[in-house]
C-alpha cells in the first residue's frame, strides 16, 4: 500500500485549511509531522498534491481529482472504527443553508448520506446567509452552507461550489430580445431583487456599485420564487443563481439576458463552522461529503 490513513488525513486537512500550520492544529500534530507525512505521500504516489500560491497551499489538479476518493475512504474508515468500538455513527446533524442552497443544491447529498447512515438524522434550517452565520455563531448549528464569505475570526470559512448569478427577464421584456444588453440598459431598467444582506443581493451590489444610487429597485423579496413570478409579470428584470432558474430557462418561460463582462456575476458558495468547536463524528462525515461535491 502506498499510503497510510494518517497521510490521507493530513492531505485532507491541508486541502481544507490551506496550510501545514493550520492542518497541524486541526489534527493535533506538529508542523514538521504534517510536512513529513505530506512529503512521504507525494513521494510514494509520484505526484505533487499541492501548489504554493503566496502563503497558501492550493490543491494541484491531481490533488483535486484525488480528494473525493480520499474523503470517501476516510469516512468509511471512521465508520468502521466506530463499529470496531461497538458504536454506530448516529445522532442528529444540525446544518443551516441559505435558501438557494437548501432548495437547489444540498438535498441530494443529504439523501445519499442518510442512505449510507440511516441512524443519522440531518435537520436543515433555511435562512439568508447572514441569518445562517448568526445561528452558527450562537451555537444553534453544527455547520452552515452559505453564498458569501465570512470575515468573523471565530468562524472558519472555506470556498465550496462555484455558482453564477444570471440576469433574466420575461420573454415579453424589451431586453429579452437583444443580442447583448449594455450597462446602460441594465442600470436604467427596474429590478426585482433579493433582500439586502442576502448573498445574491451582496453580489448584485458589488457588481453594480458605481450605479446603485440610480438603479430603480421595483421590488425586493426574501425568497426566490416571488422574484421569478414578479419578473414573469414584467415588473422588472432579476438576477438569481442559474441553479434556481434551471427549469424556467429550459422551457423559456424566463429568458437569460446576455450581459457585458462588467455585469457577469460568477461567485462561490462557502462552508462555515465555528473555529473553537470540534464537529461530532457524523457532522464531520457530512462536512467532508459536502467538500467532496466539488
Domain boundaries, the chain: 1-87, 162-266
Tell me if the pTM is above 0.85: no
CATH number of 1-87: 1.10.10.10
CATH 3.40.50.300 given to domain 162-266:
no
- State the helix-helix crossing angle for 242-251 and 224-232, rounded to 10 degrees: 30
Quote the cell numbers at residue 286: 457530512
Alpha-carbon distance of 150 to 130, in angstroms, equals 9
pLDDT at position 73 is 85
pLDDT at position 86 is 45
Q: How far is CA 233 from CA 100, 121, 152, in A?
A: 22, 40, 40
Per the CB < 8 A criterion, the answer to whether 210 and 289 are in contact is no
Per the CB < 8 A criterion, the answer to whether 48 and 54 are in contact is no
> What residues of the chain score a pLDDT lower than 70?
1, 79-90, 294
Amino acid at each position: 500500500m502506498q499510503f497510510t490513513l494518517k497521510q490521507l488525513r493530513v492531505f485532507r486537512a491541508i486541502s481544507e485549511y490551506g496550510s501545514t500550520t493550520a492542518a497541524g492544529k486541526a489534527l493535533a500534530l506538529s508542523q514538521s509531522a504534517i510536512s513529513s507525512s505530506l512529503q512521504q505521500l507525494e513521494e510514494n504516489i509520484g505526484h505533487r498534491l499541492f501548489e504554493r500560491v503566496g502563503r497558501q497551499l492550493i490543491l494541484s489538479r491531481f490533488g483535486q481529482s484525488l480528494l473525493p476518493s480520499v474523503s470517501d475512504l476516510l469516512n468509511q474508515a471512521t465508520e468502521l472504527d466506530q463499529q470496531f468500538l461497538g458504536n454506530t455513527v448516529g445522532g442528529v446533524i444540525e446544518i443551516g443553508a441559505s435558501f438557494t442552497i437548501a432548495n437547489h443544491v444540498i438535498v441530494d447529498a443529504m439523501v445519499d448520506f442518510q442512505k449510507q447512515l440511516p441512524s443519522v438524522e440531518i435537520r436543515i434550517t433555511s435562512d439568508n446567509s447572514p441569518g445562517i452565520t448568526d445561528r452558527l455563531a450562537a451555537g444553534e448549528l453544527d455547520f452552515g452552507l452559505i453564498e458569501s464569505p465570512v470575515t468573523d475570526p471565530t468562524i472558519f470559512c472555506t470556498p465550496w461550489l462555484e455558482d453564477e448569478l444570471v440576469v433574466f427577464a420575461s420573454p415579453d421584456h424589451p431586453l429579452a430580445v437583444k443580442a447583448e444588453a449594455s450597462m446602460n440598459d441594465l442600470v436604467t431598467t427596474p429590478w426585482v431583487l433579493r433582500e439586502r444582506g442576502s448573498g445574491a443581493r451582496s453580489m448584485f451590489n458589488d457588481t453594480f456599485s458605481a450605479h446603485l444610487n440610480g438603479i430603480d429597485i421595483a421590488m425586493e423579496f426574501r425568497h426566490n420564487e416571488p422574484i421569478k413570478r414578479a419578473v414573469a409579470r414584467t415588473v422588472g428584470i432579476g438576477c438569481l443563481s442559474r441553479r434556481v432558474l434551471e427549469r424556467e430557462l429550459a422551457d423559456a418561460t424566463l429568458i437569460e439576458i446576455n450581459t457585458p463582462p462588467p455585469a457577469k456575476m460568477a461567485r462561490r458558495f462557502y462552508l462555515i463552522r465555528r473555529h473553537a468547536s470540534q464537529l461530532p463524528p457524523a457532522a464531520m462525515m457530512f462536512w467532508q461529503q459536502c467538500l467532496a461535491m466539488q
